[in-house]
Amino acid sequence: MSRVQIAPVSSGRDLKAFIQFPYDLYRDSEWWVPPLRMDVSRLLSRRKNAFFEHGDMQLFLARDASGHVAGRIAAIRNGMHLKKYADGTGFFGFFECIDHRETAHALFDAAASWLRSEGLHTMRGPANPSLNDTAGLLVHGFDRRPSLLMPYNPPEYVDFLESYGFERSMTMWAYFVHKKYMKGEKLKRGAGLVLRRWDTLSVRTLDMDRFDEEARTILDIYNEAWSENWGHVPMTDAEFAQLASELKQIVDPDMVVIVEDGGVPVAFAVSLPDVNVALREIPNGRLLPTGLFKLLYLLKSDVIQHIRMPLMGVRKAWHGRGLDALLINESIQNGIPKGLTSCELSWVLDSNRRLINALESLGAVVDKEYALFDTAI
């Protein structure tokens, strides 16, 4: 393959090609799940994505000698990350590439050059566009479909990064709980012990009639609970409002568990139906003309028996008191009557030993491994 050319996305036609590329790249993949195009367009829209209130992004396309798209990447400046850490770190994301190391390295060069022009000296990723969105590179578990809002990539991407000079900065795990453990006495016994030991605690589910208030409560707990976790950047009010609005369309209130101490919320867990089962049936990512009907039909059927728990938080004062196990148990027990057969808890930072210990004690096993990578630029 002759030398590729890298150019910034500078037109609507370029943007369309940027969005289209993964649908072509993964056309024959058994495992990749096509995202809805409208969701991808929103993520990249300066008008529709609240990320751009504090961040910036430059998109690049790689083309071969014939002008065919061979790869894509985004160079990302995250203002909230820099405000919290002041560490000169920029990000790359939305990376996809044909199986060609030179093309991948050329894309990394382009992203690194743009980040240097922004005064940054480290490049981390992938993040699409932040760690509060879909993030991480799949490094183990390539023969399985990803759950909702989790990434998928082929094995060669690991080589692309490592051969460029990237080093792993954090490992993240996706834990899987099979139905055979869901009714286990150990799970129930641990949750019951927490409630007996702390008799001021009570458990309830999401009140959809007070959705906006509930969402603000969850955001407050989340930002406190995660504040000292590696790489955490608090969501802005606008970012969380955007996320809450999207999740409201698919959330089951019984699968949002809130723990209160004397009526004051201190912990929460959000579990979502794994709609990737349905999205697999819309290979072009378009809701029209037939995709919407397929999606609505599948969402209302019993085909979705797997959930993902992407959000969980416990106020610092309640760390180490077993609320993680309580949240997991209550979520699973609420899901069993709905036909739930499995649950993924992801992603879990390798540094979060408290949660890892809780998960493994309940019978959860590692299903996939993801990582974030850094390189000096």
CATH number of the domain within which 325 lies = 3.40.630.30
Q: 248-251 contacts: CB < 8 A, separation 24 or more?
A: 248/211, 250/275, 250/299, 251/206
Both 218 and 353 in one domain: the answer is yes
The full length of the chain comes to 377
Residue 91 in this model has a pLDDT that exceeds 70: yes
From first CA to last CA, the distance across the chain in angstroms is 26
* Residue given tokens 């932040």 in the structure block: 130
- Give the angle 36-39-45 at the CA atoms, nearest 5°: 140
Orientation of helix 156-164 relative to helix 101-117, angle to 10°: 50
Both 163 and 200 in one domain: the answer is no
Both 129 and 182 in one domain: the answer is no
**Last residue within a domain, chosen from 153, 172, 191:** 172
**Last residue within a domain, chosen from 172, 199, 219:** 172
Rounded distance between C-alpha atoms, residue 75 and residue 59, angstroms? 6
pLDDT tens string 294-331 = 455 445 545 568 899 999 999 999 998 999 989 998 99
pLDDT tens string 168-217 = 999 999 999 887 766 566 666 777 888 889 999 999 999 999 999 999 99
| pTM, full prediction | 0.92
Strands (E), 141-229: 167-178, 201-205
The total number of structural domains that make up the chain: 2
State residue 248's pLDDT score: 86
Both 159 and 180 in one domain: the answer is no
pLDDT tens string 120-130 = 999 999 999 99
pLDDT tens string 215-265 = 999 999 999 999 999 999 999 989 988 988 888 888 899 999 999 999 999
Nearest to 243 by CA among 18, 51, 13, 29: 51
Both tokens of 36, joined, read 């809805």
Both 104 and 188 in one domain: the answer is no
Both 88 and 205 in one domain: the answer is no
**Last residue within a domain, chosen from 119, 148, 172:** 172
Both 10 and 88 in one domain: the answer is yes
Side chain identity at residue 320, one-letter code: G
Nearest to 267 by CA among 329, 210, 209, 356: 329
Would you say 64 and 150 are in contact if contact means Cβ atoms under 8 Å apart?
A: no
pLDDT category of residue 1 using cuts at 50, 70 and 90: low
Both 231 and 269 in one domain: the answer is yes
Both 19 and 146 in one domain: the answer is yes
Both 270 and 293 in one domain: the answer is yes
Both 168 and 204 in one domain: the answer is no
State residue 338's pLDDT score: 86
Nearest to 97 by CA among 123, 120, 121, 126: 126
Both 245 and 335 in one domain: the answer is yes
State residue 179's pLDDT score: 73
pLDDT tens string 16-67 = 999 999 999 999 999 999 888 888 999 999 999 999 999 999 999 999 999 9
Domain that holds residue 154: 5-172
376 falls within a domain:
no
